[in-house]
Amino acid sequence: MKAYLELVCPAGTPAALRAAVDAGADAVYCGFQDCTNARNYPGLNFDRHELKSGIAYAHARGCRVFVAVNTFARAGDFGPWQRAVDDAAALGADAIIVADLGVLDYAARTYPKLRLHLSVQAAAASAFAIRFYRETFGISRVILPRVLAVEEIAALIGQTDIEAEVFAFGSLGTMVEGRCYLSSYITGRSPSMDGVCAPAEHVSYQEEGNCLVSRLGEVVINRFGPHEPAAYPTPCKGRYLVHGRPIYLFEEPIGLNVIPLLAELKAAGVTALKIEGRQRSRAYVSKIVGTFRAILDSLAQGKPLPAEAAELAGVAEGGRETFGAYARGWR
């Protein structure tokens, strides 16, 4: 059966990698236990031995492994990024996901046969940018920023004729990836430089009366009423007092789910769907990947969407789902 769209799934731990492979992922993406990837949370990610075992497990089952080396290298300290590229190549990764120009240049020169995927952190949202990355570094695929409408994606793919991967499900960043400094402003650490948005050591939740209050450092991010769904303490989805009224300034806690748009995305020329969530559990990975596998297989056979498609809302942040910029463009 010809794949409808390639399914690229998250793995924050070796257990999650096995769960994703077993649930039917076409490819799994993961990172090392350091600042070189954009999900650098305590206890998450792979050491070199775990990655070697994980790649062997995935390859034995026909699944590819992409290694994210997608933060921006610190000035005067290129070592961790160089080692990450070297080790990913040596361990047999099928591709590395990169954003930094220096890391791209190093990888392209040193490992010309290693596939390079341009990370969403590079925020390449124009044909000029994508062509530049392809012509200069030979990237094989671009992971498009979550700021584009479906018709904009179709136009970009038409103009660049490159493999495009788009986010299909999971937590939704409302800022332009790779250029957001809200977390850095509050905590001194950011996803782009340190691999963490709202780093855990700065996060606290407290019960105050019958409310749950989330803080990032000293900043109150949200105050949830007794029956209100809770959310991550990310600054872009905070509820702030504006003229004395608590409102969501940028975006409400909500999760991305493009299941109803899959046919449009395929028609737009998209190659692969990315499931967000390396910080989520193996139970989450298993459920989401299994559901998407069933959906993509049904669509490939021209069948209607299976019943599982309706069961994912409960796992979304805030208990609600959106098409994000795909339907309305970026605001």
Partner 1 sequence: MAEAEFPVLLVSNALALLPAPILERGIGLLLAVLARKHPRLFRTLAAHPPCAIGIEPIDLPHRFVLRYGGGFPSLIPTGTLDQPLNARVKGKLESLVGLLEGRLDSDTLFFSREIVITGDTETVLSLRNALERDSVDLFATAMALFGPASGLVQHAALALERRLVKTRRRLMAWHEALHAARREEASVAARCARLEAQLQEANARLAKLEARLRRRDLARDLS
Q: Which stretch binds partner 1 (CB under 8 A): 71-79, 115-123, 224-232, 289-297?
A: 224-232
Residue 159's identity, in one-letter code, is Q
Is residue 92 near partner 1 by the rule CB under 8 A? no
**CA 264 to each of CA 87, 289, 326: distance values in angstroms, whole numbers, following the listed order:** 38, 20, 10
Fill in the per-residue mask, 248 to 287: x = in contact with partner 1 (CB under 8 A), - = not in contact.
-------------------------------xxxxxx--x
Q: Which stretch binds partner 1 (CB under 8 A): 38-46, 109-117, 176-184, 293-301?
A: 38-46
Work out which of 5, 139, 231, 299 binds partner 1, going by CB under 8 A: 231
Distance CA 42, CA 138 (A): 34
User: Which residues have CB under 8 Å from 86's CB, separation 6+?
Assistant: 110
Is residue 310 near partner 1 by the rule CB under 8 A? no
Work out which of 1, 2, 43, 77 binds partner 1, going by CB under 8 A: 43
What is the footprint of partner 1 within residues 197-216 (CB under 8 A)?
Answer: 200-201, 203-207, 212
DSSP state, residue 261: G
> Least separation, in Å, of the C-beta of 321 and partner 1?
12
Q: Between residues 229 and 306, which has the closer beta carbon with respect to partner 1?
A: 229
The residue behind tokens 């796992």 is 315
Distance CA 128, CA 159 (A): 9
Q: Which two tokens stand for residue 323?
A: 């098409």
Q: Are 210 and 226 in contact (CB under 8 A)?
A: yes
The residue behind tokens 């989330």 is 214
Work out which of 13, 36, 121, 322 binds partner 1, going by CB under 8 A: 13
For 49-76, give the DSSP string.
Answer: HHHHHHHHHHHHTT-EEEEEE-SPPBTT
What is the footprint of partner 1 within residues 97-136 (CB under 8 A)?
Answer: none
DSSP state, residue 4: S
> Least separation, in Å, of the C-beta of 201 and partner 1?
4
Q: Which two tokens stand for residue 227?
A: 């029956």
Where do contacts with partner 1 occur on this chain (CB under 8 A)?
A: 12-16, 41-44, 200-201, 203-207, 212, 224, 227-231, 279-284, 287, 314-319
